[in-house]
Chains A and B, each alone.
Chain A
Amino acid sequence: NAGVTQTPKFQVLKTGQSMTLQCAQDMNHNSMYWYRQDPGMGLRLIYYSASEGTTDKGEVPNGYNVSRLNKREFSLRLESAAPSQTSVYFCASSERTGEDGYTFGSGTRLTVV
C-alpha cells in the first residue's frame, strides 16, 4: 500500500546543475501535483496534471518543467538549479475532482548551494 512515492528523499545540488525529481502513485488517480514548501509560506503549487497527457502551471512555475510520463508517474525537472529553489518538494495525487483531498508523498528535501 505505497500510495505516493517520491525519490530521492534528499539532494544537494550546485548552482546551475540540473536534476529530476521522480513521483509515482499506485492509486489509479487521474490528477497529480507538485508543491514546494518553504517556512511560513505553506504549500505552493508549482505544476499540476489534471489527467494523463495534460500539464498546467501553478502559482510558482518559473525554473521548473514537468512531464506526465503515464497515469502513474509525474516528474519535476530543474534545468539550472538556483539557491532560491532550496525547498522541500511534495508530490500529490487525487481523483479528478480533488474534493476527497490529495494524497501526498513524503517529500524531497533539496538544497542548492
Chain B
Amino acid sequence: GQQLNQSPQSMFIQEGEDVSMNCTSSSIFNTWLWYKQDPGEGPVLLIALYKAGELTSNGRLTAQFGITRKDSFLNISASIPSDVGIYFCAGQTPLSDYKLSFGAGTTVTVRA
C-alpha cells in the first residue's frame, strides 16, 4: 500500500487539553479516514473525508482533508480520559483498487 506518515507516534494528554495529529503522504488521496482503537478491540471509524479542503466534525473531533490531497489532520478538543487509545489515519488513492492504506498510529495516553 501507499506510505502514510502519521505523527506524532505517541502523545500524552491532560484532561481539558486540545490535541492534534496528522498524516501525510507523497501520493494524492481521494478519501481520508480516521479510526480509533481501544485496547483489546478493533479500530472503529470516527470520521470520513471525501473532498479536498473538507472539514468534518464528530462531537469533539474535527478532521480536515488537506488542500493538496496529500495530508489530513485530526483535532480532539477538551480531552477526556476516554480519549486514550490508538488513532489511525487511512486513505484511498485513485489507483488503490479500493484498498485502504493505514498510518502506523498515534498512541494517546493520559498524563499522570
Interface size in chain A (residues, C-beta < 8 A): 29
Distance between Cα atoms of A66 and B35 in the complex (Å) = 25
Q: Is the CB of A104 within 8 A of B1?
A: no
Q: Is the CB of A42 within 8 A of B103?
A: yes
Q: Is the CB of A100 within 8 A of B40?
A: no
CB-defined contacts of A100 to chain B, threshold 8 Å: 48
Flag the segment in B13-21, B68-76, B77-85, B93-101 that touches A: B93-101
CB-defined contacts of A4 to chain B, threshold 8 Å: 42
Q: Is the CB of B31 within 8 A of A99?
A: yes
CB-defined contacts of B41 to chain A, threshold 8 Å: 106-107
The interface of chain A, by Cβ under 8 A from chain B, is 4, 31, 33, 35, 40-45, 48, 50, 58-59, 90, 92, 94, 96-107
The interface of chain B, by Cβ under 8 A from chain A, is 1, 6, 9, 30-31, 33, 35, 40-45, 48, 50, 88, 90, 92, 97-100, 102-105
